[in-house]
Each structure stands twice: as C-alpha cells, then as structure tokens.
Amino acid sequence: MTRLKGILLALCVYVNIANAVQYADDLPPGPYCGARRNGCCAGRVDGCSAPIIGTLCYCDDFCDRVRNEDCCPDFQAVCRGNYTVQEIRVCHHRGQYYAYGKTAKENCNICKCEEVGGRVEMLCERNACLIQENIIDAVNQRPDQYQWRASNYTEFWGRRLDEGIKLRLGTLQPHRFVRRMSPVRRIYDPNLLPPQFDSNQKWRGYITPIQDQGWCGASWAMSTTATASDRFAILSEGLERVQLSSQNLLSCNNRGQQSCNGGYLDKAWLFLRKYGIVDENCYPYVGHDDSCRLPKSGNLISARCSLPLNVGRREKYKVGPAYRLGNETDIMYEIMESGPVQATMRVYHDFFTYRSGIYRHTNLATDDRTGYHSVRIVGWGEESDYHGRIQKYWRVANSWGEDWGENGYFKIARGTDECEIESFVLGAWPFTVDPVSKNDI
Ligand SMILES: *[C@@H]1O[C@H](CO)[C@@H](O)[C@H](O)[C@H]1NC(C)=O
Ligand SMILES: *[C@@H]1O[C@H](CO)[C@@H](O)[C@H](O)[C@H]1NC(C)=O
Ligand SMILES: *[C@@H]1O[C@H](CO)[C@@H](O)[C@H](O)[C@H]1NC(C)=O
C-alpha cells in the first residue's frame, strides 16, 4: 500500500531535513505525534498518523528512513526522544504559534518572534493606532454620557495615529495676524433663525457631494473648493453647477503651502481670488503631490478645459475676498443666506471613530496628539439627548468618503466652540457669469 501522493507533496518542505526536529516556516509547530493518545508505532502502520494542515503525517518506525518527508515534524523528538538535534524555537502569542523570525501584524503594530535573553518571545511595536478598540467600546457603552456612537473603519484599521493626523487632515493653523482678521457684521434678528436648517434641502442638487481626500492631507484644498462650488451653484441659481478642482489647488497653490502635508486656508482663498481654478473634470483629483499642470494665469481655453454651454464663461472660477464669521448666529445667518461655510477644527484621536450622533471630544484617548482639519458646515439642528435635554448641533461635511460617519457627514455640538469649530469660519462670494444670451448664439 502506498501512502498518498498528496501527503508527499504537502510535506515536501521536509526534504533534506532528515532527523531534525525543525518546523518549516509556514507549518504550525504541532504537537502531532506528541498529541497521539497511542503514541508512536513499531514497523510500518499507515493508521499511525496525526492530522497536519489538511492531510496526515506519520509516527511509525518507517520514519527512520533518511527521507522522512511524510512523517510528523516532531517524530524524532517524540518517538526517538532525540531533542539534541535542534532546539524548538517557537513563540506562542494570542493563541497562535509563530516560528522564530516570523512576524504578525496587530492593528498598526508589527510583532516579531525574537530572541530575548535566551528565550524566544513575540515582541510588538507600541504605536498608537488610528482605531483603538477601547475608545470604541467606551463610547458605545455609555450612551448616557456620550451623545455619539463610535465604530471601526476598515480604511483606518492598521494605520497609526500619526499617519491619520498627517494624511487625513491637512490644514495648517492660521498665523496670528490672520486669526485677528475681524469678522464681518451682518444685520439680522437672531430670534428669527429657524431651529433647523440643511443646505441640502434648501438647495437640492447644488451642494457638493462628499469627497474623499484619501491618504493625503488635502482638507485645506477640498474644503475650499467644495465651499466655493456650493456658492457658485447657489448664487447662480443652478446655472453654474460646478465641482471645482482640488488638485488644481493642491498642485498649483504651492507658495507657502505643503500640498499633501497641509495648507493654509487664507492662502488657498487668495489663490482662488487672484488666479482662479478650473473644474474637477479638467483637472481631476489624484490625491498626491505632483507638479502643477497649468500656468497660474490664463483662462479655461488656454487650460484646454471644456467650456460650459449654458453660461458665457471663459475665465477660470474666481472668488472675492474671503471673510470671517464671528459667532454662532452669524454663522447660521450666513449659511442660510449664502450657503455652506468653511470651518477649521481641532481633531482629537476619538474623532476618527465617529459613526453617528452629536460629537464632543472625550478624554478617552491615551495619546493626546491632535491635528488641525478643515470641513464645511452645511446646516444645523437640535435633538434631545439620553436625558431628554435639547442639544444643538452643526451639520458638517467631512472629506473622508461617504462610508465614514453619517454618509460622510457628522454632527458636532453647536454654540460651545467644540473643537474650536466656531473659531475660524470663512465664506467668500463667487464671481458667477451671465447665462449665454440669444445674441451670443
Ligand atoms: C539524533 O540526531 C542525530 C543528528 O541528526 C543523529 O545523528 C542521531 O543518530 C539521532 N539519534 C537517534 C537515537 O535517533
Ligand atoms: C476592524 O476592521 C478590520 C478590517 O475590517 C478588522 O480586521 C478588525 O478586526 C476590526 N477591529 C475591531 C476592533 O473590530
Ligand atoms: C453674534 O454677533 C451679532 C453681532 O454681530 C449679535 O447680534 C449676535 O447676538 C451674536 N450672537 C451670539 C450668539 O452671540
């Protein structure tokens, strides 16, 4: 009777390791013969075997042959008591065996089976990971304390916190003289502001969809182009529905800006004002640093963009000077009258795991590093919390794709400058053009 050929194939990794108790890198180290209740067998007994990776290995005398590739890796050690050949160097870690030198990834950290003082042990890196299970659990276990829920995101799993801060945010804090920019004054009656407002409902189809910056710190460019795009559509009453190019800003607004490592919002708005930018179709987002494809000046024709048919536009899309909104009700009035505004915010570790509800940062993170981010406030509202108290919120568009948060949006506490979100809020007027008149055709 011949033993199965499949077994020979499966275990051919043992060729030339005769007599050595040695574990091939990709084989679990056992025990095999060591786990048999009836132990090893004399002579050749085909039933004297143990299961190994979907097949069988043998524990009988036949394994004394020189080529014992179908025998269990621990045959010599268990059946012949020959431990002198080679030390078994295996790490046991979280219910798994790892051969010496093998690595495993645990969230954002690499673990390696290494020798430490004569023993082998699994040693792991200790970076703070973007997704921390304990933050998610702590938030979700206390709906009475936190008004938001947290979840794991596949996209963020396995990444370090510092990568998230560097590449998922990307707004540089305004210089002191820019922060002193005085807010515009608006004349309105704060008592007449509605308790709830959503740009997506008032200007259906005009509001820029949720974008995804990818692993590039481009929030400075994305929030600027999205806010400007919304305002082009709103002010033109739908005639200039355009998605402006973030890559145009990312690649071409490079003086004092750091592309995927972040940028200043005042410089971005100044670029839109001085030079203007083209639309997304003409200069699509690639999400990494590359050299500018367009001359700064010039128009849509010299940039070889296709021209809109319904309006007489030749110029790139430009805006007037950006202005700052000073407080909660001014921001509300501005959104209602002119459209979404751009806001900056401090991002704490727990924000990356936000899933739904009204966000307030917690002190659950053990790592207190934070970053600066820019987003687009599209509306506001109120809802009652676990204890029945009314809580006010802003409705905000993020740039982490539609799978994050509430379809790409989040709600954050309003009126308390949560995460500094009310500290530096900007708007700008777009320079729209007239519709194509009969004379032009
Ligand atoms: C133990 O292993 C050594 C080295 O491979 C070999 O020379 C020796 O014959 C083995 N002893 C027994 C009892 O199998
Ligand atoms: C998070 O998601 C990843 C990938 O989808 C998964 O491998 C991981 O086990 C999840 N982590 C937690 C804590 O649920
Ligand atoms: C914000 O400032 C305006 C004046 O610009 C004032 O009328 C309004 O009451 C202020 N709102 C809040 C919430 O302080």
* pLDDT tens figures, 213-272: 999 999 999 999 999 999 999 999 999 999 999 999 999 999 899 999 999 999 999 999
pLDDT at residue 88 above 90? no
Nearest CA to ligand 1 atom 12: 82
**97 C-alpha to center of ligand 1: Å?**
26
pLDDT at residue 105 above 90? yes
pLDDT at residue 179 above 60? yes
Indicate which atom in ligand 3 lies nearest the CA of residue 415.
Answer: 13
* In contact, 102 and 113? CB cutoff 8 Å: yes
pLDDT given for residue 396 in this prediction? 98
pLDDT, tens only, 121-177: 899 999 999 999 999 999 999 999 999 999 999 999 999 999 999 999 999 998 876
Ligand 3 mutation target, pool 182, 193, 330, most atoms within 8 A of CB: 330
Instruction: State how beta strands 354-359 and 409-413 pair.
Output: parallel
pLDDT given for residue 67 in this prediction? 63
Query: What mean pLDDT comes out for the span 66-85?
Result: 74
Nearest 5 degrees, angle CA 290-CA 295-CA 299?
125
- Whole-angstrom Cα distance, residue 162 to residue 150? 20
In whole numbers, what is the pLDDT of the chain averaged over residues? 88
Residues, the chain, total? 441
Query: What mean pLDDT comes out for the span 13-31?
Result: 46
Ligand 2 mutation target, pool 154, 156, 352, 403, most atoms within 8 A of CB: 154
Would you list the DSSP string of 113-150? Answer: EEEETTEEEEEE--PPBSS-HHHHHHHHH-TTT-SEEE
pLDDT, tens only, 415-424: 999 999 999 9
Nearest CA to ligand 2 atom 14: 152
pLDDT band for position 38 (cuts 50, 70, 90)? confident
Q: Is 422 in the pocket of ligand 3 (CB under 6 A)?
A: no
Higher pLDDT: 408 or 35? It is 408
Q: Give the three-class secondary structure for 13.
A: helix
pLDDT given for residue 69 in this prediction? 74
pLDDT at residue 430 above 60? yes
pLDDT at residue 22 above 50? no
Ranked by mean pLDDT, the top range of 99-103, 298-302, 393-397 is 393-397
pLDDT band for position 9 (cuts 50, 70, 90)? very low
Nearest CA to ligand 2 atom 2: 154
pLDDT band for position 1 (cuts 50, 70, 90)? very low
Indicate which atom in ligand 1 lies nearest the CA of residue 18.
Answer: 5
Q: Is 31 in the pocket of ligand 3 (CB under 6 A)?
A: no
Q: What are phi and psi of 150, to 5 degrees?
A: -115, 155
- Whole-angstrom Cα distance, residue 98 to residue 120? 10
Q: Is 328 in the pocket of ligand 3 (CB under 6 A)?
A: yes
Pocket of ligand 2 (CB under 6 A): 133, 152, 154, 157
pLDDT, tens only, 303-361: 999 999 888 899 999 999 999 998 999 999 999 999 999 999 999 999 999 999 999 99
Ligand 2 mutation target, pool 157, 353, 355, 404, most atoms within 8 A of CB: 157
pLDDT at residue 10 above 70? no
pLDDT given for residue 307 in this prediction? 93
pLDDT at residue 297 above 90? no
Indicate which ligand has the atom closest to the C-alpha of 83: 1
Q: Which residues contact 278 (CB under 8 A, 6 or more apart)?
A: 244, 245, 248, 294, 300, 303, 305, 316, 317
pLDDT band for position 118 (cuts 50, 70, 90)? confident
**329 C-alpha to center of ligand 3: Å?**
6
pTM value is 0.79
Closest Cα partner for 292 from 255, 322, 242?
255
pLDDT at residue 85 above 50? no
Would you list the DSSP string of 305-317? Answer: PPPPSSB---SPB
% pLDDT > 70, the chain: 90
pLDDT at residue 205 above 80? yes
pLDDT given for residue 27 in this prediction? 63
Query: What mean pLDDT comes out for the span 111-117?
Result: 88
pLDDT given for residue 167 in this prediction? 97
Residue-range domains of the chain with CATH: 2-86 (no CATH), 89-126 (no CATH), 133-427 (3.90.70.10)
**327 C-alpha to center of ligand 3: Å?**
6
Nearest CA to ligand 3 atom 11: 329
pLDDT given for residue 434 in this prediction? 82
